[in-house]
């Protein structure tokens, strides 16, 4: 897992613009892993800390806007738009009006909800400004928290695990994914 982040940042060399592009592209693949690995690279000194954090933020928000755009584009496909009857679309759109910011921000913190929520917002033509603002603020909070935790854990891994630090970082990423799924299942279980 580290190899693709390291390859991307190595490709960027010491050119900050290329390093930023590498991190942004990595967020499109797996944003939590990109966050952990960018923090590890920043700890090693191969990547400026501020560049890592800003690039992560930009990449994640662009990815969120891409999901919105994907939903918007799918609404223009008649066969796909017919899956959800017009009266149901109107009902959901009415409920979503005035709640877009809150719904988008909440879904950032609940595993498994981003893809369906963000594409649905686009599909229904939810207010793009509210969507973008909700995405940006939630991403700022989530990414900062995960990046900060990754810096702390990465520091411990680098100090005590030596060459095995990347295995520890991969373990941390797996933990984040498994914990996210467990939370998602718990949330789904309580809502039924």
Least reliable range by pLDDT among 79-83, 92-96, 142-146, 174-178: 174-178
Contact 40, 2 (CB under 8 A): yes
Estimate the crossing angle of helix 100-109 against helix 114-123, to 10 degrees.
Answer: 160
- For position 1, what pLDDT does the model report? 46
Is the model's pLDDT at 190 over the cut of 90?
A: no
Q: What is the mean pLDDT of residues 17-41?
A: 88
- For position 150, what pLDDT does the model report? 83
* CB neighbour class for 84 (10 Å; exposed up to 12, middle 13-18, buried from 19): middle
Confidence of residue 78 (pLDDT cuts 50, 70, 90): confident
Q: What is the mean pLDDT of residues 77-94?
A: 86
Phi, psi of 45 (to 5 degrees): 85, 10
Q: What is the mean pLDDT of residues 119-123?
A: 94
Tell me the range of 67-71, 140-144, 185-189 where mean pLDDT is highest.
Answer: 67-71
- For position 179, what pLDDT does the model report? 66
For residue 161, give the DSSP letter: S
The domain total for the chain is 1
- For position 191, what pLDDT does the model report? 56
Give the predicted TM-score (pTM) of the model. Answer: 0.79
* Average pLDDT along the chain: 83
Is the model's pLDDT at 178 over the cut of 80?
A: no
- For position 172, what pLDDT does the model report? 67
- The parent domain of residue 151 ranges over 2-191
Angstrom distance (rounded) from CA 97 to CA 92: 9
């Amino acid at each position: 897992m580290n190899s693709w982040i390291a390859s991307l940042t190595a490709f960027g060399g010491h050119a900050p613009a290329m390093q930023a592009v590498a991190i942004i592209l990595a967020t499109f693949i797996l944003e939590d892993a990109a966050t952990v690995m960018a923090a590890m690279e920043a700890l090693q000194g191969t990547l400026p800390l501020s560049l890592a954090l800003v690039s992560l933020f930009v990449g994640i928000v662009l990815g969120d806007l891409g999901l919105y755009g994907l939903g918007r584009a799918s609404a223009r496909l008649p066969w796909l738009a017919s899956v959800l009857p017009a009266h149901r679309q109107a009902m959901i759109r009415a409920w979503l009006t005035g709640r877009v910011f809150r719904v988008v921000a909440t879904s950032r913190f609940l595993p498994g909800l981003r893809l369906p929520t963000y594409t649905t917002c686009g599909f229904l033509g939810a207010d793009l400004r509210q969507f973008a603002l909700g995405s940006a603020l939630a991403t700022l909070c989530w990414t900062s928290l995960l990046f900060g935790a990754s810096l702390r854990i990465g520091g411990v891994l680098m100090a005590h695990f030596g060459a095995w630090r990347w295995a520890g970082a991969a373990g941390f990423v797996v933990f984040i994914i498994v914990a996210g799924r467990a939370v998602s299942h718990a949330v789904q279980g309580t809502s039924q």
